[in-house]
Amino acid sequence: MQTNFSLAQLANPDTAETERILRACVHCGFCTATCPTYVLLGDELDSPRGRIYLIKDMLEGGAAPGPEVVKHVDRCLSCLSCMTTCPSGVNYMHLVDHGRKHIEEHYQRPLADRALRMLLAWVLPRPALFRLALRGARLGRPFARLLGVRLRAMLTMAPATIPSPSPVDKPQVFPAEGTRRARVALLNGCAQRVLDPGINEATVRLLTRHGVEVIVARGVGCCGALTHHLGRETPALRAAKANVAAWHREAEGEGLDAVIVNTSGCGTTVKDYGFMLREDAAWADKAARVSALAKDVSEFMNDLGLMPPAREIELTVAYHAACSLQHGQKITQQPKALLAAAGFTVVGVPEGHLCCGSAGTYNLLQPELAGALRDRKAVNIASTKADIVAAGNLGCMIQIGDAIDMPIVHTVELLDWATGGPLPKPLVGFRT
């Protein structure tokens, strides 16, 4: 693709990287076939190729974008299916991130939109505040029909009960059982530790059972993905630096074999810390080292090797591949191989490359499109006739859970159960 950036614009490292990405695009259009919003809407501007043109023109012009440009960029899920499809290796992720940053800095959104985005960026990364907000949302659920579509979506997605805080999320060391085979740090996250702390607990049990010492490092918090994808670079980089500092201290001290992430959207961002902080001399090397250490829990366990199952399991599992795992991190076979090794019969989901509509805050900011994708995913899952669904991302589990008639469980909880851990809560009362 031909570009027309000025020399002054190209002096900016983000713009120089954007030009390199744009020049790799050959307009082939393969990406349109696997783009969820294009599949739903059939609008070229709601395809990766269309958005590439919009972002190119917006950044070359340098001025504030118009509402139409913002609308189509906002509709992008950042599912990155286009990157899996692209034969030219176009890094759409970094391109759309730059586009969103430009929009955030130069476009004046309507007041209601601004307020909602500020609310999400402030509340979701802070577990104590998020827990308080959920309690308030629970009280407001009876009045959801009186509110606008976005606020209604937020209230209806709030859980009926809020789990108590988990002791595993405090900074501490969990010793390995038996001979220590590895030492890892765990990202305990922000929203997940509030909504489903059992996932972190299962992760710790699974790892320590396999001879892995697990560290919850002091100073680790939100990975920064949420604010990053809202175009808010300053808080995103602040979160990234806090995590890099904490994990780098552990790596420099007793050493780390990996930084384990069990929420795949967070994992994609942590693996990108090296790029995000590449121009900061004080942080670039540390961030690159942390990114190199980052592994999804399924990726790490596949390399480590799963012990023989402790119980016989006769369940068929429909494996839902989270976009951030299959497209963002290129992890496709490891979770399925682990589930099969644990004794489950594993089946794929038709149209598995298409997003379920969760996509971080997308189901709150674009509830109608997210709902259409959720319903499409639910039909495809039902067609598998599986007993349960496994997924590696909490956002997908929440998005899909209310739309299907079968339990949905995090992959790590099933692996923990199969190798000697407790029955996952979603399976309590379910035939096993």
What pLDDT is recorded for position 134?
84
How many Å apart are CA 48 and CA 28, to the nearest integer?
11
For the four alpha carbons of 359, 364, 367 and 372, in that order, the dihedral sign comes to positive
Per residue, the 3-state secondary structure of the chain, as one string, reads CCCCCCHHHHCCHHHHHHHHHHHHCCCCCHHHHHCHHHHHHCCHHHCHHHHHHHHHHHHHHCCCCCHHHHHHHHCCCCCCHHHHHCCCCCCHHHHHHHHHHHHHHHCCCCHHHHHHHHHHHHHCCCHHHHHHHHHHHHHHHHHHHHCCHHHHHHHHHCCCCCCCCCHHHCCEEECCCCCCCEEEEECCCCHHHHHCCHHHHHHHHHHHHCCEEEEECCCCCCCCHHHHHCCCHHHHHHHHHHHHHHHHHHHHCCCCCEEEECCHHHHHHHCCHHHHCCCCCCCHHHHHHHHHHEEEHHHHHHHHCCCCCCCCCCCEEEEECCHHHHHHCCCCCHHHHHHHHCCCEEEECCCCCCCCCCCCCHHHHCHHHHHHHHHHHHHHHHCCCCCEEEECCHHHHHHHHCCCCCCEEEHHHHHHHHCCCCCCHHHCCCCC
Residues 6+ apart with CB under 8 A from 6: none
Q: How much is the pLDDT for 179?
A: 94
Q: Cβ distance 371 to 393 under 8 Å? A: no
pLDDT of residue 197: 94
Q: What is the per-residue pLDDT for 160?
A: 75
Domain coordinates of the chain in residue numbers?
7-106, 111-157, 167-301, 309-427
Residue-level pLDDT at 163: 87
pLDDT computed for residue 146 by the predictor: 57
Q: How far apart are the first and last CA of the chain?
A: 55
Q: What is the pLDDT of residue 145?
A: 65
Residue 361 makes CB contacts below 8 A (sequence gap 6+) with 120, 124, 226, 229, 230
Tell me how far apart the alpha carbons of residues 430 and 417 are, in angstroms, rounded to a whole number. 14
Region 7-106: CATH code: 1.10.1060.10
Structure tokens at 22: 């744009």
Nearest to 414 by CA among 399, 396, 427: 427
Q: 45: which 2 tokens? A: 């501007």
What is the reported pLDDT for 255?
A: 95
- Segment 360-389, tens digit of pLDDT: 999 999 999 999 999 999 999 999 999 999
Is 211 within 8 Å of 181 (Cβ atoms)? yes
Q: Which CATH class is domain 309-427?
A: alpha beta
Residue 355 and residue 78 in contact, taking contact as beta carbons nearer than 8 Å: no
**Tokens encoding 123:** 């509340």
- Full pLDDT tens readout for the chain, 432 residues: 899 899 999 999 999 999 999 999 998 989 999 999 999 999 999 999 999 999 999 999 988 899 999 999 999 999 999 999 999 999 999 999 999 999 999 999 999 899 999 999 999 999 998 888 888 776 666 666 656 676 666 677 677 788 889 999 999 999 999 999 999 999 998 999 999 999 999 999 999 999 999 999 999 999 999 999 999 999 999 999 999 999 999 999 999 999 999 999 999 999 999 999 999 999 999 999 999 999 999 999 999 999 999 999 999 999 999 999 999 999 999 999 999 999 999 999 999 999 999 999 999 999 999 999 999 999 999 999 999 999 999 999 999 998 999 999 999 999 999 999 999 999 988 765
Q: What's the CA gap between 213 and 326, in Å, rounded?
A: 27
From 107, 101, 41, 112, select the one nearest 75 (Cα to Cα).
Answer: 41
- Whole-angstrom Cα distance, residue 381 to residue 388? 10
Our measurement of the distance from residue 194's CA atom to the centroid of its chain's CA atoms, rounded to an integer in Å, reads 16
Global pTM value:
0.92
- Length of the chain equals 432
pLDDT at residue 159, rounded to an integer? 74
